[in-house]
Amino acid sequence: MRKVLLVAVLVGAVFLAGCDFMAFIDDLLSGSTDPDGSGIGGVTFVQIIVDYEFGIEVMTDDSGLQSWLLDASIGSIGPLSFDASINTYTVETPQGSDPYVKMSIQLDESGSMIRDLVVERRMSHGFDTWERIDKIVAFDIPYHRVEGASTYYRIDVSLPQWIGLELVDYKDWSKTENSEQNPNYQVVDPHAMQPYFDADPDRFIEIEFRQ
């Protein structure tokens, strides 16, 4: 009898409240943007990996401009924070940490598109004798696939009209011989990377959200 009464109350509420109530029921059944920070659809992601690769030209300190394959794989460090009001994931290591990683990734309301991607990393390498800076800013990277517990967003040659690459920076220098102000290798104009990206048939940018 109680079940019958409950159904009657729900049906009555549907007629009274219309679509808003149905949206509320849909959220209860399928999950909505989680206010506690876990993420869109109530899915908790624990790490984000940003990979990209394409051919560019790099200014070197000894031989001038050279063709270069720029590739980077930048992983978040520490717990992700999710702001449900703007659908944005952020994470940042403390200033001065090595590596230093900072990410801000905003998705659309459905989670089908990365609207805004800002990622930077500063790290030592070569047995702590070299230091490198990578930064990428891009827009409108679509959902691509799910594999296991990971969700992927990707841009590659299959989307030739994409023009969402705002900035890609790269600097690399020997700590004993050069500096950030005078690096061994650097991108001449970080804001002019879209033509390089478009020209490489093997280009890609891929973002993995790991559960």
- Axis crossing angle, helix 2-17 with helix 19-30, rounded to the nearest 10: 130
Same domain, 115 and 192: yes
38 in Cβ contact with 46 (< 8 Å): no
What region, left, alpha or beta, does residue 8 occupy, with left being phi > 0 and alpha being psi -120 to 50 degrees?
alpha
Same domain, 39 and 26: no
Same domain, 1 and 87: no
Displacement of CA 78 from its chain's centroid (Å): 15
User: Full-prediction pTM beyond 0.85?
Assistant: no
Split into its structural domains, the chain has a count of: 2
| Each residue's pLDDT tens digit, 146-188 | 999 999 999 999 999 999 999 999 999 999 999 999 999 999 9
Q: Number of helices (H) and strands (E) in the chain: give both, helices first.
A: 3, 11
Same domain, 112 and 137: yes
Same domain, 153 and 111: yes
Burial readout 47-72 (b: 16 or more C-beta within 10 A, e: otherwise) = bbebbbbbbbebbeeeeeeeebebeb
The three-state secondary structure class of 12 is helix
pLDDT confidence of residue 8? 38
| Each residue's pLDDT tens digit, 84-93 | 999 999 999 9
**What is the Cα–Cα distance from 70 to 53, expressed in whole angstroms?**
6
Q: What percent of the chain has pLDDT over 70?
A: 81
Same domain, 4 and 100: no
User: Which residue range forms the structural domain that includes residue 188?
Assistant: 35-210
Same domain, 23 and 48: no
Same domain, 100 and 10: no
pLDDT confidence of residue 42? 76
Same domain, 13 and 109: no
Same domain, 64 and 15: no
Same domain, 124 and 109: yes
130 in Cβ contact with 160 (< 8 Å): no
Same domain, 72 and 42: yes
Residue 102 has pLDDT above 70, yes or no: yes
Angle value at C-alpha 40, between 87 and 13, nearest 5 degrees = 105
